[in-house]
Structure 1
Amino acid sequence: MSFTIQQKRAAFRALHEQGCFLIPNPWDVGSALYLQSLGFKALASTSSGFAWSQGRPDGGVAREGVLEHLRTLVQATDLPVNADFEGGHAATPEGVAESVRMAVDTGVAGLSIEDSTGDREAPVRDLADAVARLRAARVAIDESGGDTLLVGRAENFIVGRADLPDTLARLKAYAEAGADCLYAPGIHTREQIVAVVQAVAPKPVNLLVGSASDLTLDDIAALGVRRVSVGGALARAAWSGLQRAARILQQEGRFDGFAGAASHPELNALFRR
């Protein structure tokens, strides 16, 4: 490792102070090293991408498996790693604090806590409960040195409750509770993005772009966003290549699904360390 954990965390915080940067989401060591080789300045884990690599649905990996995955990513790359830490892997604020302390110990430069419940009837937590959980995360980080970035996530749009006023109220509350960066996955229009940026200013905002978009990175930067992540989109792109090639093999007995596949020598060269 060329950089210490403290250096990675300092570099990660500096990225949020000005401009707009891309933070792609690898799902294993190989994808992390490839993204590092392209020159990205930071990485973020993806709960969905990692879960699929383990043959599980998003949210289906227990805390111990997630922590080991984060530790592996941190140790494999020189880049800062932000943890998609789902809901904190605990039912109570006290449990969230315990989980966050464990996540900080893996060496991650940042971590996010979301307010979704997994309950289809009530998919978003009561605001008071969500704030208490985020405050517990803030205290746990501060007691662990305070240099890990805390991201507060309002999940309204991504769980099918596209309520912008409630999303803004939640993000403001999370900012006041100690979140360093705010995130509302699922927003996508210019008007929604600007509303979120203005609501929590001057704190930075993360935007998820997980599908094809008319917006470019320059467009997004002009709207005031500090960082752009892609969630499980790269993992889904990889899965689509596998699915296409495998279906052609099984259904047609042909091998042209391998056209355009990555080069064996190039991959060996990338991972020969």
Structure 2
Amino acid sequence: MTTFHELHHADTPLLLPNAWDVGSALAFAHAGFPAVGTTSFGFAASAGYPDGYRSSKQATAALVTQLVQLPIHVTVDIEDGYSDDPVEVAEFVATLADLGVAGINLEDSRSGHLVDPAAVASKIAAIKHRSPDVFVNARVDNFWFAEDSSVDAVLRRAHTYADSGADGIFVPGITVQDIPSITAGIILPVNVLAHPTMTVAELGKLGVRRVSSGSLPYRAAVDAAVGITNALRGNKPLPAATPYWEMQSHLMTFRQG
């Protein structure tokens, strides 16, 4: 089986779907994806909380215990590690690693604002010391939150995280014109969110090595649910969907191990 690290160095970018529950992860696995990530937004929104306020720790840990039963790699969005203490963050990641998690995403922001990169670097170093095989995808949020949002600022943070042991750099919110400068300036695999006008192959030609769906599937699923009920209300034709018994069969097989 190709390792999770190796998936970032293939001929084409790793396309990573992000799940918010067992059902969505099962669907991605049955669709043939070699790895699945989680989405903190999907977790938080499902429980009625905004994203990024350390609200998803318990839900993340609970879901991971189930997702690691899938025959694919699992990487977990842990926001900022749910703590300011690098040791606490490293211990939480070690718990996930012991369950079988292949990687984690670690943000360099909290509650919508950038934090000191030195603090993030300390967390990364602690994680890699405690769990050296876990793929640490360090998220650089300058563009995402429009704070100090220049290529040079992003590269400075990325280099700090690389020096601390990060295995990949995630730059959400990046514009297409900035992608070549970012990928050329970072030796680690660069991860971006799916782009509305560019294919995964086109992003790969710009040097991107991983493309995440992020919370898009969750948000699209919510939109689809509203669309279906609106169609019912408006006496319009309904869209096709995976049969109930097919999904039930997948869940029964999953539960039986």
Q: Using the alignment, how far apart are the partners of 1:152 and 1:44 within structure 2? A: 14
Q: Using the alignment, how far apart are the partners of 2:246 and 2:155 within structure 1? A: 46
- Secondary structure at the aligned position of 1:111 is classed as strand
Q: 1:66 aligns with which of 60, 81, 90?
A: 60
Q: Using the alignment, how far apart are the partners of 2:141 and 2:227 within structure 1? A: 32
Q: Using the alignment, how far apart are the partners of 1:154 and 1:74 within structure 2? A: 27
Q: Is the 8 A contact 1:90 1:99 kept in 2?
A: no
Matches within 5 A, 1:68-147: 68-75=62-69, 77-118=70-111, 123-141=113-131, 146-147=132-133
Q: Is the 8 A contact 2:40 2:56 kept in 1?
A: no
Structure 1 range deviating more: 171-180 or 49-58:
49-58
Q: Is the 8 A contact 2:22 2:63 kept in 1?
A: no
**1:245 Cα offset (Å):** 3.0
Percent identical across equivalent pairs? 33
In the other structure, the counterpart of 2:189 is: 204
Provide closer, same or farther for how the CA distance between residues 64 and 269 of structure 1 changes in structure 2, counting only shifts above 3 A: closer
**1:240 Cα offset (Å):** 0.4
Q: Is the 8 A contact 1:12 1:109 kept in 2?
A: yes
- Secondary structure at the aligned position of 1:87 is classed as coil
Q: 2:35 aligns with which of 17, 20, 42?
A: 42
**1:264 Cα offset (Å):** 2.9
Q: 2:6 aligns with which of 6, 14, 33?
A: 14
Q: Is the 8 A contact 2:231 2:238 kept in 1?
A: no
Q: Is the 8 A contact 2:141 2:171 kept in 1?
A: yes
Provide closer, same or farther for how the CA distance between residues 244 and 102 of structure 1 changes in structure 2, counting only shifts above 3 A: same
Q: 2:151 aligns with which of 164, 170, 178?
A: 164
- Secondary structure at the aligned position of 1:66 is classed as helix
Does 1:26 find its partner at 2:28?
Answer: no
For each residue in 1:20-70, what CA deviation from the matched residue of structure 2 results, as whole angstroms up to 9, or x when unmatched? 221111111111111111111111111111222233322353423321112
**What runs of 5+ residues in structure 2 fail to find an aligned partner?**
none
TM-score (norm 2): 0.88
Q: Partner letter of residue 194 of structure 1?
A: P
Q: Using the alignment, how far apart are the partners of 1:257 and 1:178 within structure 2? A: 53
Q: Is the 8 A contact 1:184 1:207 kept in 2?
A: yes
In the other structure, the counterpart of 2:165 is: 178
Q: How many residues align?
A: 250
Q: Using the alignment, how far apart are the partners of 2:239 and 2:139 within structure 1? A: 40
Q: Is the 8 A contact 1:245 1:255 kept in 2?
A: no
In the other structure, the counterpart of 2:174 is: 187
Does 1:260 find its partner at 2:243?
Answer: no
- Secondary structure at the aligned position of 1:82 is classed as strand
Provide closer, same or farther for how the CA distance between residues 270 and 41 of structure 1 changes in structure 2, counting only shifts above 3 A: same
Q: CA RMSD in A?
A: 2.1
Does 1:234 find its partner at 2:217?
Answer: yes
Q: Partner letter of residue 94 of structure 2?
A: R
For each residue in 1:83-123, what CA deviation from the matched residue of structure 2 results, as whole angstroms up to 9, or x when unmatched? 1111011122222222222222231100111110215xxx1
Provide closer, same or farther for how the CA distance between residues 178 and 272 of structure 1 changes in structure 2, counting only shifts above 3 A: same
Decide which structure has greater strand share.
2
Q: Partner letter of residue 207 of structure 1?
A: V
